[in-house]
Every structure is written in structure tokens, then in C-alpha cells.
Amino acid sequence: MTDNYAVIGNPISHSKSPLIHGMFALATGQDMAYQAIEGPLGQFAATADAFRAAGGRGLNVTAPFKLDAFAYATDLSERARLAGAVNAMKFEGERVLAENFDGVGLVRDVVHNLGCPLQAKRVLLLGAGGAARGTLLPFLAERPAQLVIANRTADRAQALAAEVAGQGPVSAGGYAELTGQAFDLVFNATSASLRAELPPVPATVFAPGARAYELAYGKGLTPFLRLARNAGAQRLADGVGMLAEQAAEAFAWWRGRRPDTRAVIDRLTVPLA
């Protein structure tokens, strides 16, 4: 019997999730179907209820429903609780298990696909929203020498750092406080690139040989990546690997088999030019 999964969002026509999970299912021989659901705004719970009633086994969750999914869940993972947002759910009777795989997917892309360990590295994270929150525990688990969170609103970054203060060497502040500091890896978790804008970060944050990672994907050479290239960053990457790896984590959570992501990454990669 075919098991049913889906991604829910609004809008949703741009989502690559049906393609990704279709490729994963084919590669691993899983009898499953995966669809995209455009959920009406303000009706997440009703839409999820209907999907479950029709036999749905699990959902990926994208904007603007990650907070709704957080509220809907009965069992939150530690990662989801810290992020305050959910991007994957599975249904076991009356229980709704919820996860956030964004940070895990990002770390796997950086460490395994790009061959760049975070251990003992100086790491800068730009932004303090939902995308940034999901990265913190996975980042700190890699034991960086330093993790700095920078945000337009310094108080928001500092509050986020305080939530994980016991997990590793983390600090936070505003962009102006980055003057005079340099980092081995710089991650842009702001929404600026979605508007073709540049976060107000000084070019000097890129240490010699630094890597720059844009969490957005499919945008080519964004203003952030262009700044990094012009500042001498040696390696640039966007979030296509993160997209594939977080999807693989959800797939493994649902199906018990973790698919290889290389074919998906190759299929979705857009040149950074």
C-alpha cells in the first residue's frame, strides 16, 4: 500500500520537495507518494487534520506555516523547541512528532559535501530569525572555536545566544560590533538575499581563505556572495545542499533509510555567476 506524504506552504508551486522526495523514493525503492499542498492562510490545523484523516503519514512544512506546525505538534524535538519552528512532522495515531532539520542539513552539507569541518573554526551567523535559530545546536555540536550571531536588532541576537549559552562559545551583537573581527566561515541566514539586498556586514569579516555560505538557494551570485568574493573568500556556496540534506533527514526519519543526496544536488544546482 502506497504511503502518502506532502509539503504544505503558501505559496507552494515553487517547492522542489516533490521532485526531491520523488527522486529519493525511486533511488531507495520506497512505495510512497509525495504531493504539494497549498494550505489556506489561517487554516493550517484544519488542512493537516484533513491530510491525516485521508491517511497521510508525514508532512514537510514551509513558509508561512512553521510556527503553526510548532503549535500543532504534540511531541517536539529539542531542535524544534529551540528553533521555535517545525519543518517536518510524522503522524503516529494521535501523536504528532515534530522536528526541525534545517540546521542538521546545513551542517551536513558544509562538513560532508563541502569538506569543511566547523571544529575549532571562527563562525559568523548573520540573522536571528527562524532560519538562524535552527542552526545553533547543530553548529555548537561541531565544537567551533567561536560562534558569533549578528543581527540588525542586537537585543534579538543576544537573546538567542542566551538560550544556548551553556552549549558552547557563543556571543552576539549588532553588525557594527563586527568591525575588527574576522571569521573562517560566514553564513547568511537573513532574508536580505530574497530581496536582492545585502545585510550591512563589513567586508572585513571574511578572514583570508574564508568560506561564505548563503542559506537561500537558486539565486546565483547574491549580493552577499558577491561581497564575499570581492573580499577574497575562497569558497562560495548557496543553500541547495542544505535543502537536499534536510530533505534526506526527513526522509530517513519517515522511512528508515537515508538516501544519497548527490543526484538531487546536481539536479538543482544553479551556477554562482
Cell numbers given for 131: 532560519
Active site residue 121: no
Question: Which of the following is catalytic: 66, 90, 121, 219?
Answer: 66
DSSP string, the chain: --EEEEEEESS-TT--HHHHHHHHHHHHT--EEEEEEEPPTT-HHHHHHHHHHTTEEEEEE-TT-HHHHHHH-SEE-HHHHHHT--SEEEEETTEEEEE--HHHHHHHIIIIIS----TT-EEEEE--SHHHHTTHHHHHHT--SEEEEE-SSHHHHHHHHHHTGGGSSEEEE-GGGGTT--EEEEEE-SSGGGGT---S--GGGEEEEEEEEESS-S--S-HHHHHHHHTT-SEEE-THHHHHHHHHHHHHHHHS-PPP-HHHHHHH-----
First-to-last alpha carbon distance for the chain, in angstroms, is 45
Grid-cell match 542552526, residue found: 135
Residues belonging to the active site:
66
